[in-house]
Structure 1
Amino acid sequence: MGFSRRTVLKASAAATVALGGVGAPFVARAQKAEFSYKFANNLPESHPLNVRAKEMSAAIKTETGGRVDVQIFSSNQLGSDTDSLSQIRSGGVEFFTMSGLILSGLVPAASINGIGFAFPDYATVWKAMDGELGAYVRSEITRSNLVVMDKIWDNGFRQTTSSTRPINGPRDFKGFKIRVPVSPLWTSMFKAFDASPTSINFNEVYSALQTKVVEGQENPLALIAAAKLYEVQKYCSLTNHMWDGFWFLANRRAWEALPADIREIVARNINAAAVKEREDIEKLNATVQADLTAKGLIFNQPELTPFRDKLHSAGFYSEWKGKYGDQAWSLLEKSVGRLA
């Protein structure tokens, strides 16, 4: 049975037609995205940020016709926060979400939202961060040759957990060995309370608590739950001492490599996902305390005014007003009221 090359090609073409063009979609699916970008973050896969990021990635892929594929690497898979900051600057990763308090090592103004006991509630947070204060911080980030999206993602109000004692007032912090992120603002605040802060990247927090390198840590309830820190902590004091959020950063060269119409689609979906994630965190905070209580964490609600008074008398607010400068500080106080 002899078949010529021409006969085989004709048969192949006929089969494709007979299948109603089924071959074409298979070829399209096999094609590699024109822009395959990595998005690194330090949060567990179950955290609302990563849940919404998956939806965001799918929407971007659909709306760009498969040209952009945003691959998500959660839980510091590509390195610690400080490693990832180096990678976003060099182009090792294209996208990264980072707390402004840690980003402050590169952009000092980025930590201003974390000033201790400044924000009383979410309404005040969004007024500031979607308003003039947020715009000021974004302009400072841009000056550091990074691209930053308009909407900051929510990490939440931070609470204090401990394996040794509840925190009922400023004096309970004296000598307290607490893990803090790698950020001067955190270290400064807890030193003002006479605590003993230790800077540890988040991917090492669980083991540091488990091995008693530190007694406690501070994070929003959603992250305490997602990272299962209740397994190695006994008490949770609702100190609400800082509000923290994540700026969505992009490597400038990678961002500018995208055509203008593609950039619009990507930015729109990232910012929309940020707003949805904010709503998720607020709803989660309303239920997660009961879940954590059921898992054995003991809660207490201290009076917050003494903490703020202690920071004032220790010169914390005056010190940081001097570091941020009059313009940034006035924008903060415009939203939260007088601090220093």
Structure 2
Amino acid sequence: MNFFRRTLLVAAAGAALLAPVAGYSADIKPRIIRFGYGLNEQSNQGRAAKFFAEQVEKASQGKMKVRAIGAAALGPDTQMQQALIGGAQEMMVGSTATLVGITKEMAIWDTPFLFNNAREADAVLDGPVGTKVMDKLQAKGLVGLAYWENGFRNLTNSKRPVQKMEDLDGIKLRVMQNNVYLDSFKTLGANAVPLPFSELFSALETKTVDGQENPYNTILSSKFYEVQKFLTVSNHVYSPWIVTVSKKWWDGLSKDEQKILSDAAKASRDFERRDTRDEGAKALSDLKAKGMQVNELPASEAARMREKLAKVNGTIAAEVGQDLWNETQGELKKLRGAK
């Protein structure tokens, strides 16, 4: 065999080795999913986003990869929601309160003192009422997959302890960009200032605002104790987060891919709630250890606030629809009557 013929045979053998196996495409790349969130990587939100990413990669055998991007690097909730609607971003988790401008029924979760405990919140959010509210998102270009827990919200400020309703008078309090929060705190006497969460620490540090309200976990992970002295245990609102997907993008997925994301969202919901509650139990003592002055709002003052907010509740009922309001109250009545 001459040199030229040997060279051709070697080249042909090499080409055969490099050729793709039947049924396999060398061009297949994993589907990259950008999953945005507002808090930092070390927060309960960050840990749950990581758990979600791991579930998706495992269930898809690496064909789908979630890039969890925190610290509002993709923008505040409102900006990410618009990116999802336009199809420029795939997924996010954020507050239901910032969705009210898109889907008015989400305002039901902003009702002050709606839930007495986490058991009630889980049952209503994961039940028919929660599903009905979540499904309203689809007409607006979003798909809701699961509610996570932000938690019961509590007040902090740099001026004084809030021991009675009148102590809120004149306090510049940052609230979410949501009319129910604005109306509620204005009604209670605070000077309510709407601000994106991403601007909050700086606003507290520069005294642009005096205070804010968030669950213990967020107060701790965001280091608000560095710029806030007083913490009032008020539990005035139970605040959910919601995992949402761009409908424009979702509709292009296969049923199997949709199921992987839906199952992972529910698994991460269960993980996140356990993690949040475990962390919340110790976060309060950590905040005390870091120098925050903590007081509990007396039950009599919480009752006064409820009465004062009756008009706001009437506005919420009108906004979300009386049928949804009555259904939610009916579910809560059943839960409270159950032995």
Amino acid paired to 1:7: V
Aligned to 1:115: 111
Q: Offset of 1:6 from its aligned partner?
A: 4.8
The alignment-based identity, stated in percent, is: 25
139-148 or 205-214: which moved more? 139-148
SS of equivalent residue, structure 2 residue 134: helix
Q: How does 1:1-340 map to 2 (within 5 A)?
A: 4=7, 6-7=9-10, 10=13, 32-33=29-30, 35-149=31-145, 151-313=146-308, 315-337=311-333
Task: Find runs of 4+ consecutive structure 1 residues off by over 6 angstroms.
Answer: 11-14, 27-30
Once residues 68 and 53 of structure 2 are traced to their aligned partners in structure 1, the CA distance between those partners, rounded to angstroms, is 8
SS of equivalent residue, structure 1 residue 165: coil
Q: Offset of 1:148 from its aligned partner?
A: 0.9
Amino acid paired to 2:108: I
Once residues 240 and 328 of structure 1 are traced to their aligned partners in structure 2, the CA distance between those partners, rounded to angstroms, is 23
Mind listing any 5+ residue stretches in structure 2 that lack a counterpart? 335-339
Aligned to 1:20: none
Mind listing any 5+ residue stretches in structure 1 that lack a counterpart? 17-23
Could you tell me whether the CA contact under 8 Å between 2:113 and 2:306 is conserved in 1?
no
Q: Offset of 1:5 from its aligned partner?
A: 6.3
| Root-mean-square deviation (Å) | 2.5
Once residues 270 and 299 of structure 1 are traced to their aligned partners in structure 2, the CA distance between those partners, rounded to angstroms, is 35
Once residues 71 and 40 of structure 2 are traced to their aligned partners in structure 1, the CA distance between those partners, rounded to angstroms, is 5
Alignment length (residue pairs): 327
Could you tell me whether the CA contact under 8 Å between 2:37 and 2:71 is conserved in 1?
yes
Give the TM-score taking structure 1 as reference length.
0.89
Once residues 289 and 45 of structure 1 are traced to their aligned partners in structure 2, the CA distance between those partners, rounded to angstroms, is 20
Amino acid paired to 1:132: P
Aligned to 2:337: none
Q: Offset of 1:263 from its aligned partner?
A: 1.3
* Deviation sequence 1:271-326 (CA, Å, 0-9, x none): 11111100111111111111111111111111144334334245222222222221
Q: Offset of 1:229 from its aligned partner?
A: 0.8
SS of equivalent residue, structure 1 residue 152: strand
Could you tell me whether the CA contact under 8 Å between 2:106 and 2:320 is conserved in 1?
no
